[in-house]
Amino acid sequence: MDYKQHNPVPLPKYGQHHTIRSTMDTVFDWEYSLKEKKLLQLYEKGKAQTWNATQLDWTTDVDVERIAHESQVDVFMNTYMAPPKTLTREEAVKLRVNMNAFMLSQFLHGEQGALVASAKIVQTVPWEEAKFYAANQVADEARHVEVYHRYLTEKLGVSYEVHPSLGTLLEDIVTDSRWDVTYLGMQIMVEGLALAAFGMMRMIMSNEPLIQDITARIMADESRHVAFGVLSLQKAYAGGFTAQEMKEREDFIIESAYLLRDRLLMHQVFERIGWDPKIWVKWMQESKFNQAFRQMMFSKIVPNLKRLGLLTPRVREAFATLDILRFENDKDSVEQPEVAPPEELVSLLMNFLAGNTDVQQSAPA
């Protein structure tokens, strides 16, 4: 892995290194019963489907400004996203390029979180089968960090530091001493959101072949990781919870959902491009398109929590406030490991690509 970093990733407030102390139990499994067939199948699949970053075509000329121009990004934004002022082509291109760089940067930082969290699971999970799979996931996550970092620094040249909300959530996940909470935070919440976000990225950047290839490979890995989380937690939660244990998990889910929602407001983008964040973050919060876009990020999280029996009245109440309960009857990651972009967004983009810019009423509400 030899590549040029044209533009290093900016550092967050922590500086280069961020050291956090945690105490947890490390568990050996001397029985090696290896009875969990579904986890073992996932482990075999993970090994068989390993790929290398060298298989990607890094000679691809990535010119996102040209791509944004070609896809008439100003027409799309002005038609569907109701910006506070009509955007010129140049402004819309600047916004799209920075929003993409922001999203991809948070993917990178989330991948580092996943690398550390899956290594922690190797130590803390009590079953050997799950240690095997988590070890396989560790190798996947290292590769994901590698390719996103290379894409951002060698190809895009624009990147962002970790969003404070994502940083807080990753810290919560890796410091919690309860191993199931690591799974819940990383495999169900962070990776569940990432799966939906990757699906969006593939659609938005449909005319950039390198990011298409990267995203398709990573999505295939991530769908296994989410399935790993669901399978492991189903087994762990089969015995039920005390009221206090349930309350702790509900609190964690609700707090994580708010942190993940906040990181999608992209405050830093508007600061970087010099647009008043008060006006533009308000737009991110209030415009129907942006609200729908953010809600769709939860389209895998909600059915997966339901499968785990964690869509309790308290969680439902919080999710109703976030307006994401409508995904509860969607297929979960065991029923459908692959992720398709939400149908309403597909039809919106298809309409646009077909030249029907007069279909604002079909925008997700």
Contact set with Fe ion (CB under 5 A): 111, 114, 141, 144, 191, 222, 225
Min dist CB 197 to Fe ion, Å, is 12
Phi, psi of 345, deg, nearest 5: -75, -40
Q: Shortest approach of Fe ion to residue 110 CB, angstroms? A: 7
Q: Give the nearest distance from C-beta 319 to Fe ion in angstroms.
A: 23
Cα–Cα dist 348/226, whole Å: 27
In this complex, which beta carbon is closest to Fe ion, that of residue 129 or of residue 191?
A: 191
Q: Which is nearer to Fe ion, 74 or 191 (CB)?
A: 191
Give 108 or 310: the residue with its C-beta nearer to Fe ion. 108
Main-chain dihedrals φ then ψ at residue 12, nearest 5 degrees: -80, -175
- Closer to Fe ion at the Cβ: 78 or 112? 112
Smallest gap from Cβ 178 to Fe ion, in A, equals 20
Q: Which is nearer to Fe ion, 95 or 188 (CB)?
A: 188
Half-sphere exposure of 172 (CA within 13 A, CB side): 22
Residue type, 8: P
SS (H, E, C) 71-103: CCHHHHHHHHCCCCCCCCHHHHHHHHHHHHHHH
Residue 86, both tokens: 């009509």
Minimum gap (Å) between residue 183 Cβ and Fe ion: 12
Residue of 139, 141, 156, 136 whose CA lies nearest to 108: 141
Q: Where are the beta strands (DSSP E) in the chain?
A: none
